[in-house]
Structure 1
Amino acid sequence: MADDPIYLEGMEDDPAFPDHLVAKGRSILLALHERIGFERPADLPALYVLTHAATEEFNALQEEFWEAGGDIDTVIREAIALSFEHVMKAHGFADADLEEALAPRDW
C-alpha cells in the first residue's frame, strides 16, 4: 500500500486536530481498505455495508473530538470523504455514490 495517499491528509500538522484522533481516523480508513480487499464485495450494496460500518466508527469518533474540544468540521468532513472515495476507487468501485457510502454519518 505504499502508493496509497496519507489518509486524512493535511490534518497531521494542524493543532485543531489532535494527533491521536487523526490516527484513529486513519486506522478506520485503513481497516476499511483492508476489509474491502479481504471481503471483495460483489456489488455496490455489499460495498455500502462496509462503508456504513466505517462511517459509524467515525460517528463514534465525533464524541472523542467533542471531548477534546473539537468537532468534525468541514475540513475533516472533506478529508474523510476524499479518503473514502480513494479507498472505493482503489478497489474498483469508481461508480460508487459517495453520499450513499457515507449515508449513516451524523457529522
Structure 2
Amino acid sequence: MVKKLDSDFNYLLDMYEDSYYPSFLVDKIQLNIRKVVDFLEEGNQSLEAVQEKLDEMTLAINELQDEFYEHESEIETVARDAIAITVEEILQYFEIDIDIEEALRERDW
C-alpha cells in the first residue's frame, strides 16, 4: 500500500509564521518540496531516485535566493531549519533512510 502524506501536514511552519519571509516565496519552496512528496506518494522508494529528487528540489530552492533578497529577506538560519525539519519529517513518514545532511547536500544556503 502506498502512503499518502496527511493533507494537514505543516510545511515550513516557522517560515509561514514569520513575516520576514514573504508568503508567496515560502509557497514556492513548499511547491518544490511537494514535488518530492508527490514522487514518494507514487510509491518510489529507491534511495538513489529519492536522492535525485531531493537534489532537484534543493537546486530549485537555491534558485529562489535572489528573489528572497529582492524582497528584503533571505534563506538563513530559521529558513534552513524550517526546510530541514519539513524534509526530515517527510522522509521519516515515508520511511526513507537518508540523513538530512545528505538529503540537502546540494544546498548553498
Q: TM-score, normalised by structure 2?
A: 0.86
Matches within 5 A, 1:53-68: 53-68=56-71
AA aligned to 1:27 is L
**How far does the alpha carbon of each residue in 1:14-73 deviate from its partner, in whole angstroms, 9 at most, with x for none?**
22010101111111111210022226032x222211111100111011121111111101
Corresponding residue to 1:9 among 13, 19, 31:
13
CA distance in 2, matches of 1:96, 1:73: 23
Distance 1:2 1:96 in 2: 21
Identity of aligned pairs, percent? Answer: 33
Aligned counterpart, 1:21 = 25
Residue in 2 aligned with 1:101? 103
- Partner Cα separation in structure 1 for residue 22 and residue 34 of structure 2: 18
Which structure 1 residue ranges, 4+ long, deviate > 6 Å from structure 2?
none
Look up the match of 1:90: 93
The answer to whether the Cα contact below 8 Å between 2:14 and 2:79 also exists between their aligned partners in 1 is: no
Distance 1:87 1:4, change over 3 A: farther
- The residue correspondences of 1:72-91 to structure 2 (distance < 5 A) are 72-91=75-94
The yes-or-no answer on 1:33 pairing with 2:34 is no
Kept in 1, the 8 Å contact 2:40–2:94? The answer is yes
Ranges in structure 2 where 5+ consecutive residues have no aligned partner: none
- State whether residues 55 and 106 of structure 2, in contact with CA within 8 Å, keep that contact through their aligned partners in structure 1: yes
Aligned CA-pair RMSD = 1.6
CA contact (8 A) 1:36 1:50 kept: no
Give me the whole-angstrom Cα distance separating, in 1, the residues matched to 2:106 and 2:16.
Answer: 26
